Amino acid sequence: MSTSKYLITVVGPTAIGKTAMAIELARHFNCEIISADSRQFFREMAIGTAVPSKGELEAAKHHFIQDISIFEEYSVGDFERDAIAKLDELYQTNDFAVMVGGSGLYIDAVLKGFDDFPDVDPAIRSQLITDYEAKGIEYLQQELQRLDPVHYEKVAKENPQRLMRALEVCIGSGKPYSSFLNIKKNSRSFTPIVIGLEADRELMYDRINRRVDIMVNEGLIDEAKGLYPHKSLNALQTVGYRELFEHFDGNITLDFAIEEIKKNTRRFAKRQMTWFRRTERTKWFDFTTPSTEIINYINTQL
């Protein structure tokens, strides 16, 4: 076999079956898995982030699953550094590794390198969180449009984390967030092979709705109650928790909160597909495609 190193990357929307496919590929190529799901990093968030089951974690060794706390700051730049270091370690004894996840920014950071942003005073993010809670997402949108109209046109405008990240750079550096993009790209010691899983939109949405129902049955509400006192933390500004916090605040009913989780997850999946459609050299497969067919494709790329 070639001495080249390969990073087989599985992308696609939430609830499409990426974890199961990644495990099959890792077992076939006898390698380990890098998780690039930015919500599954946190040990306190298990049900609402669809962390792989005990059986799945035993079927193939995973890295970056529930290995930090919601009380720790962990950026995409931190993940890029840690993931590349782990891959360098894995490649000492194996030509293959698998990466899987639905967080496009984190996938891109590993595959292509992350843009070099300046350090920012944490007090800026704290103030932005306070402003977001008091004035809503519209305030963040308006501020970013004012400070960086170029990035405003590209950003996921319904994602407060993306908005706050861009704003803290704008405020902390005095320069537009977009001015730091695409200045440098790091070289990589591996060849990426990117596999995309997709489904008909209605089928994808039905899978999402059913997954939310399963999460609720497995204890999502109690998990969110335990996290409610910490609802302002960055890690918890995410679908599945935010809606339940609104219910605990007395603003909406539980049934409405659950329907909002489904709706917002469907919107998130649509944004994921928009992002991943831009990923270079991705080979797309229907989510029902047998792993043997995908393995055959991968072998043609070696």
Q: Side by side, which strands form the sheet with 62-63?
A: 62-63, 33-35, 96-100, 6-11, 191-198, 282-286
Which residues does the annotation place in the binding site for ATP?
12-19
What 3-state class would DSSP assign to 11? strand
Cα-based distances in Å from 50 to 36, 39, 102, 211: 13, 9, 12, 9
What 3-state class would DSSP assign to 284? strand
Which residues does the annotation place in the binding site for substrate?
14-19
CB 80 within 8 A of CB 110: yes
DSSP notation for 17-45: SHHHHHHHHHHHTT--EEE--TTTTBTT-
d(CA 78, CA 144): 24
Which residues does the annotation place in the binding site?
12-19
Say which DSSP state 134 is in: H
85 burial via Cβ count (<10 Å: 0-12, 13-18, 19+) = exposed
User: In this structure, what token pair is assigned to residue 93?
Assistant: 């004894």
What pairs with residue 62 in β-bridges? 33
Report the interhelical angle of 122-135 vs 137-147 (nearest 10°).
130
